Every structure is written in C-alpha cells, then in structure tokens.
Amino acid sequence: MDNRALIRAFRLAASLLELHDENPFKIRAYEGTAAALERLEFPVAEVERTGLPDRTGLSKTAAARVAEMLDTGTFEELTRLLSITPPGVVEMLNIKGIGPKKIRMLWRELGVESSDALRAAAERDEVSKLKGFGKKTQDAILQALEFSDQSRGKLLYPQAEELAKDLVVRLQEALFTESVAVAGEVRRRLEVVENVVLVAATAQPEKAHKLLNSLDGLTADPLRSGPFAWRGTATTSGVKVEVLLVAKDDFTNQLFLLTGAEAHLSEIFVPQAAHGQPATLRQLLKKERFYQETAIYEKAGLQYVEPELREGLGELALAKEHKLPKLLEDADLRGSVHNHSNYSDGAHTLRQMAEFLRDEGYEYLGICDHSQAAHYANGLSPERVHQQQHEIDELNKELAPFRIFKGIESDILGDGALDYQPTVLASFDFVVASVHSNLKMDEARATTRLLRAIENPYCTMLGHPTGRLLLRREGYPIDYKAVIDACAQHEVVIEINANPWRLDLDWRWVRYALDQGVKLSINPDAHHTTGYADMRYGVFMGRKGGLTKEMTFNAMSREEVAAYFAQRKAKIKPAEEFKTTLF
DNA sequence: GCCGTTTTCGGCCCGACTGTTTTCAGTCG
C-alpha cells in the first residue's frame, strides 16, 4: 500500500464523519493525519511499525490507525463509517461542488442514495427546493454529474501507459515474441485515453485470448471480439482495451494503421494521384507491405512523422515540404523551474529538492513556493520569502555551479493583480503567475484577469493557464488567442504544467504559441522529489504541439537562464511609475 | 481526535467566494 492510498483512506474517513455530523475537531484530526502523510517523503509501508510515531510525527493513535491500514487494508473507524453509509452515498462524495453536508441533506431529506437518484431528483426540480439549495446549485449538480459521466471509461495518460506496458510484457511472455507493441492513443501520447490498443504478431491468436480472458483486471467483451481481435475493458476504470492479433508479416502495417488518427491516415497528400495510385497513407498501406514505419513515409515521399504528431492536424503538409521540426527530447531539458519546497506545501526541503535535481544531472532549480494569498497551501509571508531567499543564497554558495533560482508562484488575485507588493516581487529572480481561486469566472472575466497579470512587468511566466484538472474539473474558459498574443507582446513564457492531471497549456495551442514566438517551459510543479519525473509528460505534450529545443525555456543552460532573468528584470521600470495603474 | 498542560479537560479554529440567505453555511484550493 502506498502513501496515496493511506491519504485517500483518511480523507474519506474525514468526509464520512462530516457526512454523519460528527465532532468537527475529530474531522479536523483525520484531515490532519492525511495532511501529515502527504508531507512525508518516504513510503510509510516500509517503516518499522513501532517506529511509526517517531518517523511520521503522528500521534500514537493515528499511527496505530495507519498500521492497521497497512496490515488489513482498512481501519476500524473507517469500516464502521462505511457500514452505516450506502455505497452510492459514498460515491456522491466525489461530485464536485457539493460536499458532505449537502449530501447529508439530499440523503436525509430526499432519500437520495446514489448519483443516478440525485440526477433524477434534480431533473424533477426537487433539489432546488431544499433549504440551502437553489436553482444554481441544482444546475451545478447536474453539470458535475454530466462531467463525471463523460470521464467514465477514460484514463489519464500515465495510468493508460502503465496498463498498456503491463499487457505488452504479459503478451510477450505468453506468445514467446518480442513483436507486441502499443498503438493508438497511448502511442500518440494523448493526455486522456479512451482506448488502449495493442498489436501482437502471433500465429497462435487463441493463446492470446486465453491469457487475456484469464487476467484479473480485464473484462472480455465477446460480442466485439473475433478470432484475431480481443476486445474488452479494464474492469475498474472501464477504459476500452483492444488487442489485435496479426500475422508476423503484417505487424508493421497494422501497427501503423492502429497508431495514426483517422485524419492522419485518410488525408489526401497526393492531390493529383493517377488512377489506382495511393493518395492517402491508408491507400498506400493497402497496396504494399512494410517492415519499418520509416519506409512507409519514405515511400510516400514524406518526412518521417513522429507518432505524437499523427493527429491529422496539418503535419502531412509539413512532412511533404520536409519542414517538420526536430521535436524536443527529455535529454534537452537542463533544469526545472516551477517546483515547491516545504516552505509552502511541498514535501522536501530546499536542499533535498536541489540535491536531487543536481544528482539527476540537471543544472538548475527554480523554486516557486505559493504566495501569501494561498493560505491553504501555507503561502509565504514577505518575512518568510526573505528567510527562504537567504537560505537559497547560502545553498547556492555550497552547491555551485548548480544554481537555485529564487521564484514564487504568485497567485493571480480576482482582479488580475499579482500577490505581494512590488518591493517583494522585485526580490525574486522570476515570477510564475497562476490562478488558484475563484475558478468559476466566465470567459471574458477570466481572460481579462489573465491579461492583467501578463501585463504586470514582474510576471515572467504564466502558470497552468486554465486551471483544469483532467477528468476531474473543467478549467475556466479563456480566450486562448488573446492570452497567447499578450504573452508574445509582453515576453511572458507560458508553462506546460507537466502534472498529468493538468498538462496545461493544452498541446493543441502549442503551435499557435510557437508561431507567435512565445517560449514554453516544461514545468513539473513538483511538490516532492519524485514529481520531477512528470517532466516527461510535459515533453510529450510539447512534442504533440511541435515544440523544439530552441523554443523550450528550460532547455536553456544555467547561464542563459540567469542572463534572461537578469535582462528581463532590468527592463522593469521603478515601481512608482506603474504603481498607480497596476496596484 | 489531539495537544498540552493550570495533569484531566478545555481549546483547538484558513479566507475567499458563492449562493443562499436577511446574516450565514458550505465548498474549495
């Protein structure tokens, strides 16, 4: 059991206590346990049980509950709470916008015991009549239910990749072949996956069927399957799984056909093709058998198209002209600039965050803890900013040539102002500006808010532009063009937040940003040393949008980044000159 | 439930925002 499972269990217990109207301080205690676990930087499961209180800082009773979880998968209080709560009501806790207290009302007053019953009650206009509810709340509930419906049967990229890779290994073992590959959305690195598609070369497809039918996590769908295609779903997520069983000589053709989006395969790239001559890649594949994907594009007279780009969004036109860019790679990144330490809500100290990154071979770290408005995340008061910067100076002396840049993730307040006065903002090497509150603005207001932040001379970089959490919450709507244009005008870098829940800026806007000359930064937003690894997802998104090393902010060297920050700060006029207009 | 003692129980306690209210409760990050 990993720490996250523990944290989830304690959060659930806290919600259930609240649902059952128990002592608020008891609730806070459970939340406190979850928060304490979140800050830990080691797997609790590996700690000697008797050492738990000392190692975790938890109270004896909380530590005992953690131990119980580790040994039995649950703890007594949680079991009790679950036993007095209908499963459908527990599930309702996941609905955005309503919390335990509103759910209690719905349950007690309307007898609603499931999401479906809730939807029915809302559609009958019964919810809006409850005390404390209203028309808007009812509509918000229906909208949230709609969103969670849409999220069903989908996985974030990392989970989809893990599932796909696991199946590849099992099929390779069962079929005694290396020729099993991931295709489809996972190979194209889509941020959300609905279909996990694999291709396996085998002369014994029945062996593959037998294996796939026997796997615990999969549910077969015989109606959609056939002798050469196993289809079903991953049981818990409901995501579709498809395994095509093909002859060895057909492997490359099938892999290719199952990788590209339909628009890529069926786009006419030879407008004047003679009769019978292939005009699309699909037609070419029908005529000829290939053994390497590079040979397919070569035969078509096209530049090789990386799987990430095979979306049918204009890449073939570029490939025809041999103008596809050389895409960014993991190894091009030389530092990481939006990360948290335990000064705010991160798990690790400045030193730990820096040494880990240095030992991974990177040249610099940008620390951007939360600003003072982010109370929930232990945002830094000006005094603590000062203290942190002093500590960074000391560490920089010791760790040189590795360098920590002094940043901040400054909240963009409701009116678009940055958190902190100019004198404080001026003390940072750079400022990442992000929205964390009041996420329900309409497009006009949300855009104006961002534009105002971008115009602020202290804004170096725009953080997660829409605030979206994939499969969990829609971002606030923004006018992408206006935001990107403003970033171009004010030389503000846009981050591709590499956290797999965010992947924001959306890759579909990367090309537009690049065309406007906006540099992008692959930012893991790490709250833990393990979080740096998320940068690879950000690289995938950049690649999908055609991002190159040259246009990637954190592909710059330490010296280049230092020079960039210094030059940008030098351009800021003295605070008094814009004070009246901006603050 | 946890802390910290006035050592046996009282105090603990985010702020902004929204939507519901007519003075506030619930939710969120």
Q: What is the DSSP string of A278-342?
A: --SHHHHHHH---S-HHHHHHHTT-----GGGTTSSSHHHHHHTT-PPPBP-GGG--EEEEE--T
Per-residue pLDDT averaged across A440-445, rounded?
83
Report the protein residue whose CA lies nearest the C1' of nucleotide B25: A132
Report CA-CA distances (Å) from A131 to A49, A135, A561.
47, 11, 56
Q: Which nucleotide minimizes the distance between its C1' and the CA of A57? A: B2
Say whether pLDDT at A327 is over 90. Answer: yes
- Is the minimum distance from the CB of A195 to strand B below 7 Å? no
Give Cβ neighbours of residue A383 (< 8 Å, ≥ 6 apart).
none
Give the helix/strand (H/E) hosting A394.
helix A382-399
pLDDT of residue A186: 98
Per-residue pLDDT averaged across A48-75, rounded?
88
Distance in angstroms: CA A26, C1' B2: 9
pLDDT grade for A575, boundaries at 50, 70 and 90: low
- Is the minimum distance from the CB of A438 to strand B below 7 Å? yes
The alpha carbon of residue A463 and the mean position of all alpha carbons in its chain are separated, in whole angstroms, by 13
Say whether pLDDT at A325 is over 80. Answer: yes
- Is the minimum distance from the CB of A545 to strand B below 7 Å? no
Per-residue pLDDT averaged across A219-227, rounded?
94
| Residues of chain A (78-97) having a beta carbon less than 7 angstroms from strand B | 96-97
Give Cβ neighbours of residue A140 (< 8 Å, ≥ 6 apart).
A97, A98
Q: Are A297 and A290 contacting, i.e. CB atoms less than 8 angstroms apart?
A: no
Q: Which nucleotide minimizes the distance between its C1' and the CA of A130? A: B20
Listed as ranges, the nucleotides of chain B within 7 A of a protein C-beta are 1-3, 11-12, 14-21, 25-29
- Is the minimum distance from the CB of A20 to strand B below 7 Å? no
Per-residue pLDDT averaged across A429-440, rounded?
88
Give Cβ neighbours of residue A542 (< 8 Å, ≥ 6 apart).
A327, A328, A496, A507, A510, A520, A522, A552
pLDDT tens by residue, A461-502: 999 999 888 888 788 889 999 999 999 999 999 999 999 999
Count of residues making up chain A: 583
- Is the minimum distance from the CB of A282 to strand B below 7 Å? no
Q: Which nucleotide minimizes the distance between its C1' and the CA of A136? A: B19
Looking at residue A30, its amino acid is: Y
Report the protein residue whose CA lies nearest the C1' of nucleotide B11: A25
pLDDT grade for A378, boundaries at 50, 70 and 90: confident
Does the bond joining A505 to the residue before it have cis omega, within 30 degrees of 0? Answer: yes
Q: Which nucleotide minimizes the distance between its C1' and the CA of A26? A: B1
Q: Which nucleotide minimizes the distance between its C1' and the CA of A438? A: B17
Say whether pLDDT at A577 is over 50. Answer: no
Distance in angstroms: CA A529, C1' B26: 35
pLDDT grade for A574, boundaries at 50, 70 and 90: low
Q: Which nucleotide minimizes the distance between its C1' and the CA of A24? A: B1
Say whether pLDDT at A544 is over 90. Answer: yes
pLDDT of residue A583: 36
Distance in angstroms: CA A425, C1' B2: 38
Distance in angstroms: CA A225, C1' B23: 62
Q: How much of chain A, in percent, has pLDDT values that exceed 90?
A: 67
Distance in angstroms: CA A54, C1' B5: 21
CA angle A361, A363, A364 (to 5 degrees): 125
Q: Which nucleotide minimizes the distance between its C1' and the CA of A373? A: B15
Structural domains in chain A, CATH included, are 3-151 (1.10.150.110), 152-259 (3.30.460.10), 262-324 (no CATH), 340-582 (3.20.20.140)
Distance in angstroms: CA A136, C1' B19: 7
Q: What's the CA gap between A464 and A442, in Å, rounded? A: 17
- Is the minimum distance from the CB of A28 to strand B below 7 Å? yes
Distance in angstroms: CA A149, C1' B21: 32
Give Cβ neighbours of residue A235 (< 8 Å, ≥ 6 apart).
A216, A217, A218, A219
Say whether pLDDT at A252 is over 60. Answer: yes
Distance in angstroms: CA A47, C1' B20: 48
Say whether pLDDT at A581 is over 50. Answer: no
Which range, A16-30, A37-51, A493-507, has the best average confidence (pLDDT)? A493-507
Distance in angstroms: CA A44, C1' B2: 21
Say whether pLDDT at A223 is over 60. Answer: yes
Does the bond joining A401 to the residue before it have cis omega, within 30 degrees of 0? Answer: yes
The residue among A27, A25, A51 whose CA lies nearest residue A40 is A51
pLDDT of residue A344: 87
Say whether pLDDT at A101 is over 50. Answer: yes
pLDDT tens by residue, A494-543: 999 999 999 999 999 999 999 999 999 999 999 889 899 999 999 999 99
- Is the minimum distance from the CB of A437 to strand B below 7 Å? yes
Distance in angstroms: CA A63, C1' B2: 13
